[in-house]
Amino acid sequence: MLLKRLFDLFFSFLGVVLLAPLFLFISFWIKSDSHGPVFFRQERVGRFGKPFRIFKFRTMCLDAEAKGRQITVGEDPRITRSGRFLRHYKLDELPQLLNVIWGEMSLVGPRPEVPRYVAMYPPEVRDLVLSVPPGITDYASIEYKDENAILGRAKDPDKAYIEEILPVKLAYYQRYTTSRSLWIDFKLILATFKTIFFDEKS
């Protein structure tokens, strides 16, 4: 949808320009807080199943994936001091504006998963969810803002994610995909800001 792409490009470029000083500050903070690169890049599954590498500010120690799960659980010891703050306010997601500009993502859409979890989608659901660009935020992102805390309370976090959280996320993904519009995108962006910065539970 051309209007959606123009919407994404306009607000992504605007965001990168306006947030450039914040990007610079976060970059210095990450480098001074722990050893390793500023950015974390990970393979995710994009539109039509095409893989791409997502951008995030690094919030974990170097080689974190080799030291544990692909999901973050509770007070994960791999998370750095700066990383806890960045994750709480979702500031680690800001570099994905670059993924949006490059056409790999949208501002709003189903969150892109790693290949392992996409392989678990029912075929008909996978085809629907992957028919649109993945997004920085969506219904599921708002609902599961504190997902790592939820998983931290589970006896088996991987099982809890696969059997309890992922099915709900897929339902949200389908809801968005079948009813998406620029108005819904705009409302979800506002709801995301409200949840992150004004929700008393955050």
Arithmetic mean of pLDDT over the chain: 90
d(CA 179, CA 148): 28
pLDDT tens digits, 91-140 = 999 999 999 999 999 999 999 999 999 999 999 999 999 999 999 999 99
Instruction: Tell me which of 160 and 173 has the higher pLDDT.
Output: 173
Tens-digit pLDDT profile for residues 41-73: 999 999 999 999 999 999 988 766 655 565 665
* pLDDT value at residue 28: 97
pTM of full prediction above 0.85 = yes
Residues 191/124, Cβ–Cβ less than 8 Å: no
The pLDDT score that the predictor gives to residue 72 is: 63
pLDDT tens per residue across span 174-187: 999 999 999 999 99
pLDDT of residue 200: 53
Query: Could you tell me if 134 and 99 are in contact, meaning their C-beta atoms sit under 8 angstroms apart?
Result: no
Per-residue model confidence (pLDDT) at position 65: 61
Percent of the chain clearing pLDDT 70 (strictly above): 92
Residue 49, phi then psi, degrees to nearest 5: 80, 10
Q: Are 43 and 52 in contact (CB under 8 A)?
A: yes
